Structure 1
Amino acid sequence: MIKREAGIFLVVGGLTVLIDFCIYRLLLWTGMVDVATAKTIGFLAGTVFAYVANRIWTFGHTRSGGNIVRFVLLYASTLGVNVFINSALLHLAGRSQTGIAAAFVLATGCSAVLNFLGMKFFVFKPSAQAIPK
């Protein structure tokens, strides 16, 4: 079960990043908004997709209930972890191209693992009725 969920989670994560990037680039290409606004809109669109896709596809929840609040708390927390790890690694490794890439990959990897665990056991945890006795 967890291998299937992890696989789907990775697909959803890839699609989330793709949605973020495409909307960001489209908004910049059209010149409709400035860079910060384009990035914000792209990120938010990806986040909405991630919530819905993970809720329905990855973890099989058909009703949202209070999950949205837990989702926002989780993503805010893991964003903080991501930024902290990225900053700490840049401080240790320096700002060379290799250092920047390594810090980004490690920070993203850590936050992805925390997001998966948080979604599985906190955001979309099985209800008491769904757990077999």
Structure 2
Amino acid sequence: MVLSVQVRRFLLSGVLATAVHFAVALAMIETAHAEPAIANAVAFTVATAFSYVINTLWSFGSSIDGRTLARFVTVQLLGVVLAAAVSGTVDWLGGHYIVGIICVPVFVTPVTYTLHRLWTYRPRVQT
């Protein structure tokens, strides 16, 4: 299976955003002695901002503006709900939590990519 340049960039952007999240959370916990929940909330916010910028400019070749930002955040929030639903379903079915963790990117990534491609970064209709 050959993935388009856009899909490969989207996937790499996700890996980089995850690394940003990890680095920020770790730094806050280890150096600032922040509570893990607070550190992860801040790290999630920073990683989401990073993800928005890199996906907007690099993955989708769009411009940073209020419209794409609002749509990006909406899709990301939907992704959080979907992640909880996927892992909750695996748990409800009696699966190990590791299976749920593995299933989250398998199910959530294609949905968020598709929504970003078709809605977040959809070109504006000129009237």
Q: TM-score, normalised by structure 2?
A: 0.90
Q: Which residue of 2 aligns with 1:59?
A: 60
After TM superposition, give the deviation of residue 112 of structure 1 in Å.
1.0
Mapped to 1, the partners of 2:106 and 2:83 lie a distance apart of 9
What is the Cα deviation at residue 93 of structure 1? Answer: 2.7
AA partner of residue 100 (structure 1): Y
Aligned CA RMSD, in angstroms, stands at 1.5
> Match of 1:3?
4
1:70 shift after superposition: 0.9
* Equivalent position SS for 1:50: helix
* Residue number in structure 2 paired with 1:85: 86
Higher deviation after alignment, 109-118 or 5-14: 109-118
Query: In 2, Cα distance between the equivalents of 1:92 and 1:6?
Result: 31
Instruction: State the 1:103 CA deviation.
Output: 0.7
- Map of 1:19 onto structure 2: 20
Runs (4+) off by over 4 Å: none
Q: TM-score, normalised by structure 1?
A: 0.86
Give the distance between the partners of 2:41 and 2:17, measured in 1 at CA: 14
**Partner of residue 46, structure 1:** 47
Cα offsets for 1:32-71 (capped at 9, x unmatched): 4211110011111110011010000000012424111111
Asked if the contact 2:21–2:44 (Cα under 8 Å) also holds between the matched residues in 1, the reply is yes
Task: Give identity over the alignment, percent.
Answer: 20
AA matched with 1:109: V
1:118 alignment partner in structure 2: 115
Structure 2: give runs of 5+ residues left out of the alignment. none
Q: Once the 2 structures are TM-superposed, how far is the Cα of residue 30 of structure 1 from its aligned partner?
A: 1.0
Deviations 1:54-111 (A, max 9, x none): 00000001242411111111111121111011011012134xxxx2111111122211
Q: Which amino acid letter does the alignment assign opposite residue 75 of structure 2?
A: L
2:105 matched to which residue of 1?
108
The number of aligned residues is 124
**Deviation per CA, 1:19-42, whole angstroms, max 9, x where unpaired?**
001110111101342111100111
1:35 alignment counterpart: 36
Cα distance in 1, alignment partners of residues 50 and 32 from structure 2: 24
